[in-house]
Every structure is written in structure tokens, then in C-alpha cells.
Amino acid sequence: MITLHDRNTGSTAKILPERGFNCFSFEATLDGRLIEVLDAEPDFVAGAARPSSSGIPLLFPFPNRIRDGRFHWAGRDYSLPLPEGKPNAIHGLVIDRAWRVVDQSDQHVTGEFQLSRDAADCRDQWPADFRITVRYALAGETLRCDIHIFNPDTQPLPWGFGTHPYFRVPLSPESRVGDCLVQAPAAEVWELAEFLPTGRKLPVSGGRDLRDGQALAGLKLDDVLTGLTAHDGQVRTIVMDPQAGWQVMQVFDASFRELVAYTPPHGRSVCLEPYTCVTDAVNLQPRGIDSGWRVLAPGAEVHLWFAIHVGRVLA
């Protein structure tokens, strides 16, 4: 476990390289108090909890599900392993693997994962090799993550990336979960059938319309939102605890065009998950559906980023 520490504020972040380079704790100092922003299962560090159950799981080279774990690419059929008892492949190839730490200081750490080196047993499951580098940096009440994806192969690399952050609610022991609010600038939602998109997008309505904020009381979400509004190339989501007077703002670049909104049944957190593509994008794109599926040429790279900021609720 690696702990980042900001000496000026006392804020900390904890990353577990051996479990998918997961940042499973971010404690920010605000009003003289340490506020835990992320939720993690008690046995996550020990390796007993599911890798997708805690902190900020990193989802690559595809986020969410691929139908039946099967897809066709460049004249070849591919088959991905399925979780026990589940019908679809889920959350990529790096979420449960050990990453290598390549750079580290008190306030930042960089991890790297290359398919052919760090999961050679999975190399034939994807059309091209890949290298993903993730850097977490802590500064006061802000945790920033920079992601670089590089194609070291001679073949084009198909890919999608996402994160699965568990934002803790409430932010104060004196507050109530149901009074907390979630806000996201999404105008549309993908129609789903058994968690997989049909290809249709619909206007958001009811509890799925988070544009003006929704209280968590009675809210049940497991939806892929889209039509995100960006300002100056940035998209913002908010988890707010009005009683405590604090909020957590997640900011990410406009390359993330989808947002999964999920309320875990345990009721301790809410997930607002930025994705660069929709669920099962690799199978939707050949049908002429703009799914956000992307291809990286040999030798090319792409940069993505997100940041999490803790602050006071502004009137």
C-alpha cells in the first residue's frame, strides 16, 4: 500500500498497486476535519473483497460489459473469460492485476501496466498489446489522476476506458444519506436490456435526470447516462452533503462521453463513473451505432484525466 500525504493540509490518499492500482482512500482536510471521500470494503486491502467493490477501480481496455464475452475484430473472433455465474465479461483486464510502480514521491505516485508483460496469460484475449500509465497527485483538497494509453504493438489497438469511483455518503457522521444530493449534466440515457444497451438513447426523466440534483432518499440508479454538457472542455459531477455543508466535485475531460450512475445496495456510497464509451461498445459500433469505441494506431498515445475536489457547498 502506498500513502500520499500533503504536509500543508494533512490530506492523504492510499493506493494499492497489487489490486489494479486502486486508489481506495482519499481523506481531505476541510474546516479542520479529515473527510473520507471514498468508500471501500473493510477487507479490500486483504484481497477478500471484489476488485470492483471499492475505491476507484480502473476499467481498461473496456469498461462495464461485453456481451457473452465475445466480439469480432479485424477478421478474428475473440473470447474473454466470464466471471463465475455471470453471462458477460466485465470491467476489462487490469482491474484485478498487480501494477508496477515506476515513480513515487510524498504527493504523487505513477503506476504502469502492459498487457504482454503484466498479464501475458491474457495477451491472446485482445487484438493488440497496450501500455497504460496512471499518475495520482495529491494537492490540498484535490486528488488528480492523469492517464496515458500507449499502443506499443504493430496492430491497431481498440479500446475504451472508465473508472468506477465509490463516493462515500454522507460526508459527516451527523448527516443522513437520504439528504445527500447527486448532480450530473447528462441529458440522455441509454436504453438497457439486462444491463446491455439496445442501441437507443432516450431523454432522461424522473430519477435519472440529475441535472438539477436528486436527493438520494429512495433513489435507485444503475444507468448509463450520456449527452453530457461540458464547459471549457470539462465535465463536472457533484455529490453534496448539505447538512455538513460539504461537497465532492469530480471533474473530467470531455473525452469521457458517458457516465454510469449507480447506487450500491449497501447504501454507503454512490457511484458516478465516467466512461469514454458505452457498455458493449465493441459490439455496437459495427452495427452503425456511435458507441464511443476508439482505436489507437501503432505507436500512438492518448491522454485522459480526472480530478476530485472536496470543498464547501456554495450557495
| DSSP annotation string for 147-205 | EEEE--SSS-EEE--EE--EEES-SSTTS-GGG-EEE--EEEEEEEETTEEEEEEEE--
Q: Nearest CA to 195 among 66, 76, 39?
A: 66
Q: What is the pLDDT of residue 56?
A: 98
Q: What is the pLDDT of residue 314?
A: 79
Q: What is the pLDDT of residue 315?
A: 56
Report mean pLDDT in 10-residue bins for the chain, 315 residues.
Answer: 96 97 96 94 91 96 98 97 94 97 97 98 97 98 98 98 98 96 98 97 97 97 98 97 96 97 97 98 97 98 98 84
Round to whole Å and give the CA distance between 261 and 170.
Answer: 17
Round to whole Å and give the CA distance between 55 and 14.
Answer: 9
DSSP state of 141: T
The CB density around residue 4, as the number of other CB atoms within 10 Å, is 23
Round to whole Å and give the CA distance between 278 and 283.
Answer: 10
pTM confidence score: 0.97
274: burial class by Cβ within 10 Å (0-12, 13-18, 19+)?
Answer: buried
pLDDT per position as a tens digit, 147-192: 999 999 999 999 999 999 999 999 999 999 999 999 999 999 999 9
pLDDT per position as a tens digit, 98-137: 999 999 999 999 999 999 999 999 999 999 999 999 999 9
Q: With the C-alpha atoms ordered 34, 55, 279, 74, is the resulting torsion angle positive or negative?
A: positive
How distant, in Å, are the alpha carbons of 20, 88, 192, 195, 298 from that of 94? 6, 17, 25, 21, 20
With beta carbons less than 8 A apart as the criterion, state whether 166 and 55 touch: yes
Domains of the chain: 2-312 (2.70.98.10)
Helix H or strand E encompassing 292: none
With beta carbons less than 8 A apart as the criterion, state whether 217 and 179 touch: yes
CA dihedral in degrees (164, 20, 54, 259; nearest 10)?
Answer: 0
With beta carbons less than 8 A apart as the criterion, state whether 280 and 65 touch: yes
Looking at the chain, the whole-number percentage of residues with pLDDT higher than 90 is: 97
Q: Which residue has the cell 494509453?
A: 149
Q: With the C-alpha atoms ordered 37, 43, 46, 48, is the resulting torsion angle positive or negative?
A: negative
| Largest distance between two CA atoms of the chain | 59
Round to whole Å and give the CA distance between 310 and 221.
Answer: 23
232: burial class by Cβ within 10 Å (0-12, 13-18, 19+)?
Answer: exposed
Round to whole Å and give the CA distance between 204 and 285.
Answer: 23
- The residues pairing with 312 across neighbouring beta strands, listed in sequence order, are 246
